[in-house]
Structure 1
Amino acid sequence: MSRFAMLAAACLMLAACGTTTPTARPQPPSSAAAAEAGYPVTIRNCGKDYTFTAAPRRVVVMNGGSIGEVSSLLALGLGDRIVANAQSYGASDEPGWVEAVAALPSGGFKRTSFNDIPRESMLGLRPDFVLATSGRQFEPRDGFATREELRAAGAATYTPESTCGVGVRQDQSIEDSYTLLRDLGRIFHVSDRAEKLVAESRRRIAAVSAKVAGRPRPKVMLIIPGMSMGSNAFSSIGAKGIWNDIFAKAGAVNAFEHTSDDLFTNLSKEQVAATKVDAVVIVDWLNPDPDAEARKLFAQFPHWGRKYVVLADSAYVAPNNATAVEKIARVIHPEAF
């Protein structure tokens, strides 16, 4: 598996949140005493309990291929707690988010072949909280510090429950994004902010679902051009993952959901051509021209519809899945808006 494939497999998970644009240096809580009033807090994550006696102040965010985790922290107003961030997706569906992420400290370390934080650099950063996209980022064979080593060094660790291992749980949904926000809200004693984001996300998604209710459900394909996840020509087509819930909320179905039990399906051009596709979701991952990728697909498959939408970070577990739902619904059900 290529380095890019491993990054992608580690990352895909998303959530719905409001339109809040994160700032690179949000204001901390009004006072340390107020921030610590709600402690101790115990969070169970990936089978282990982590007890916090105060809000973490030296946070390190590992890469994983998305900006879902770091944007969740920023949306919650916690950017000032980050001492090193390795997440940089290169694109966002929200104005200002790329710039906000780029303004965070990078830590100044030499990255691993997976474009992430190596063990010695991680321990040298002296974190008290490490936020990762998946359990893969704590694998010693890949050059990372383990969760046990970090615990011994005084750092709690967290990864979304749907990606505790090296893969992604098949039934991943937008609720996983809400869980991420709520857990971070409890850890940092900003649950009120988390609940506001969740409530706004639910409101936006419910509004879309109401508009598309009862309408025919087009078949949609999600693909990440330029990413290889297998040996066939089309190995980065989404099968299982959070996007299936996003599609459902937008009034669509995944045309390739049942072709694999994995996150991605691995198909030949002939297999793809034989599948009915009404619209395409192009995921913009380090892509200089995602619109050109859509044109290339339609040239190969002229019998498909010509509808497509470009998404970036809102297709994973993150604080802006509502944006993905809205954008997809407007493309496949324009008559409803």
Structure 2
Amino acid sequence: MPMNRPATTALAAALCLLTAACGGSFDDDKTSTKTTEAAASKTGYPVTLDNCGQSETFKTEPSRVVVMNGASVAEVSTLLALGLQDKIVANQQTYGMSEVSGRAAAIKALPTGDIKLNEAYDIPREAMLGLRPDLVLSVTTYGFDQKNGFATREQLKQVGANSYVSPQGCDDDPSKMTVADSYQLLRDMGKIFNVSDRAEKLIAASEKNIAAVSEKVKGEKPPKVMVIFSNMSMGSNDFSSVLAKGIVNDILAKAGGANAFENAAKTTFADLSKEKVAATDVDALVVISYNDPNPAAYAKKLLKEFPQWPAAKNNTYVTLSDSMYLGPSNDLAVQKIAKRLHPEAF
């Protein structure tokens, strides 16, 4: 990942990500209300979401969707999981790999809109408006900030486009994110595209998979796990891409583990010195790849650098990508981590 400020801001925001509450849309006139309710019962529309304090009403199913980068893959993966790839006219999200078979290739095959991206590696305002979207998805409000050169939500509304900010993206603070936010994103997209049945089936399957894994590791002592991005620096130190807070902690807990650096920072990332890392007992290592073709090599390098870690002595590491983020495949991360932390339980 490029290490300039906009990309760093986008990634921190993307690991991330706003709980949207839903309500009905009704006309004040009783006759009109009955007509609207009857139409909605047949078509599923209109649908109104309260998103970041902004009301978004969808009169029909979106058919020209633009997915902004934001160093996220949650939004495009959610659309693909729901079978909505044909609705996307421009996608800027990619992590280069995925725990879901075929997903990385499916994302790569999506149209990009042939856009010249700005310094934040995302779609500038004029290019966005030229795409004639009817829905724009952004992982955080950063993607709709005018000072960043993006089209605002109001400007999009003026040209007939709805907009949506993903769970925990309203305040650009992913530190409180949990797996439940991934389910919220699925539910919201299900409502917007009138495929709630598909969304609920995916959620139910994920919940069932996670519950089965958690039951197997119940009562086991949670190993201390370091979660770090592969070959990437987010700050002044070599260990500034260590995750302290956010959805990764919920995933670890469900897998029977605990974040070794959870208390090292109040924010999503902990900017750690080598001395701090060396002095911490790390029982297992989770390396997250962002377009790194060989995260295992990075994991082995770290284990060699810190031979005093229990993780190094036992060669205990896991490499993951999109399943560790907001998105539809968190259950895969839970399963893979649990099997490495507690192999005797499987």
Give TM-score, length-normalised by structure 1.
0.91
Deviation at 1:36? 6.5
Deviation track 1:124-143 (CA, whole Å, cap 9, x = no partner) reads 00101001111111122221
Distance, in Å, in 2 between the alignment partners of 1:321 and 1:328 is 11
Q: Which residue of structure 1 lines up, in the alignment, with residue 36 of structure 2?
A: none
CA contact (8 A) 1:67 1:89 kept: yes
1:318 matches 2:317? no
Q: Using a 3 Å threshold, how does the CA distance of structure 1 residues 262 and 215 change in structure 2: closer, same or farther?
A: same
1:274 matches 2:279? yes
Deviation at 1:66? 2.5
Residue type matched to 2:188 in 1? D
Out of 8, 15, 29, the position equivalent to 1:12 is 15
Distance, in Å, in 2 between the alignment partners of 1:319 and 1:35 is 27
1:86 matches 2:92? yes
Out of 180, 195, 200, the position equivalent to 2:200 is 195
Deviation track 1:112-152 (CA, whole Å, cap 9, x = no partner) reads 12221111110000101001111111122221111111111
Residue type matched to 2:308 in 1? H
Distance, in Å, in 2 between the alignment partners of 1:158 and 1:314 is 22
Q: Which residue of structure 2 lines up, in the alignment, with residue 42 of structure 1?
A: 48
CA contact (8 A) 1:240 1:262 kept: yes
Q: Which residue of structure 1 lines up, in the alignment, with residue 300 of structure 2?
A: 295
Deviation at 1:52? 1.0
CA contact (8 A) 1:35 1:55 kept: no
Residue type matched to 2:320 in 1? L
Distance, in Å, in 2 between the alignment partners of 1:268 and 1:13 is 24
Which segments of 5 or more consecutive residues in structure 1 lack a partner in the other structure?
A: 15-32
Q: Which residue of structure 1 lines up, in the alignment, with residue 134 of structure 2?
A: 128
Report the secondary structure of 1:162's partner residue.
Answer: coil
Q: Using a 3 Å threshold, how does the CA distance of structure 1 residues 8 and 110 change in structure 2: closer, same or farther?
A: same
Out of 295, 307, 310, the position equivalent to 2:316 is 307
Out of 111, 114, 120, the position equivalent to 1:114 is 120
Distance, in Å, in 2 between the alignment partners of 1:274 and 1:153 is 56
Deviation at 1:6? 2.1
Out of 33, 56, 61, the position equivalent to 2:62 is 56
Matches for 1:249-264 after TM superposition, within 5 Å? 249-264=254-269
Report the secondary structure of 1:13's partner residue.
Answer: coil
Report the secondary structure of 1:130's partner residue.
Answer: strand
Distance, in Å, in 2 between the alignment partners of 1:129 and 1:155 is 5
Q: Which residue of structure 1 lines up, in the alignment, with residue 29 of structure 2?
A: none
Deviation track 1:32-91 (CA, whole Å, cap 9, x = no partner) reads x99961111111111111111111111000011131110100111111111111111111
Report the secondary structure of 2:176's partner residue.
Answer: coil
Deviation track 1:157-176 (CA, whole Å, cap 9, x = no partner) reads 111231113332x3210000
Residue type matched to 1:107 in 2? G
Greater RCO between the two (CA within 8 Å, min separation 6)? 1
Distance, in Å, in 2 between the alignment partners of 1:35 and 1:241 is 38
Residue type matched to 1:317 in 2? L
Residue type matched to 1:316 in 2? Y
Q: Using a 3 Å threshold, how does the CA distance of structure 1 residues 157 and 209 change in structure 2: closer, same or farther?
A: same
Q: Which residue of structure 2 lines up, in the alignment, with residue 138 of structure 1?
A: 144
Residue type matched to 2:79 in 1? L
Distance, in Å, in 2 between the alignment partners of 1:166 and 1:213 is 33
CA contact (8 A) 2:10 2:142 kept: no
Distance, in Å, in 2 between the alignment partners of 1:2 and 1:287 is 20
Aligned length, in residue pairs: 318
Give TM-score, length-normalised by structure 2.
0.89
Residue type matched to 2:187 in 1? R
Which segments of 5 or more consecutive residues in structure 2 lack a partner in the other structure?
A: 18-38
Distance, in Å, in 1 between the alignment partners of 2:54 and 2:126 is 24
Q: Which residue of structure 2 lines up, in the alignment, with residue 28 of structure 1?
A: none
CA contact (8 A) 1:4 1:227 kept: no
Matches for 1:168-247 after TM superposition, within 5 Å? 168=174, 170-247=175-252
Residue type matched to 1:89 in 2? Y
Distance, in Å, in 2 between the alignment partners of 1:161 and 1:98 is 23
Report the secondary structure of 1:77's partner residue.
Answer: coil
Deviation track 1:285-325 (CA, whole Å, cap 9, x = no partner) reads 11131111011101111011121100000011001000000
1:284 matches 2:293? no
Residue type matched to 1:13 in 2? C
Distance, in Å, in 2 between the alignment partners of 1:136 and 1:124 is 20
Residue type matched to 1:314 in 2? S
Deviation track 1:1-38 (CA, whole Å, cap 9, x = no partner) reads 63442231121138xxxxxxxxxxxxxxxxxx999611
CA contact (8 A) 1:5 1:228 kept: no
CA contact (8 A) 2:47 2:57 kept: yes
- Percent identity between matched residues is 54
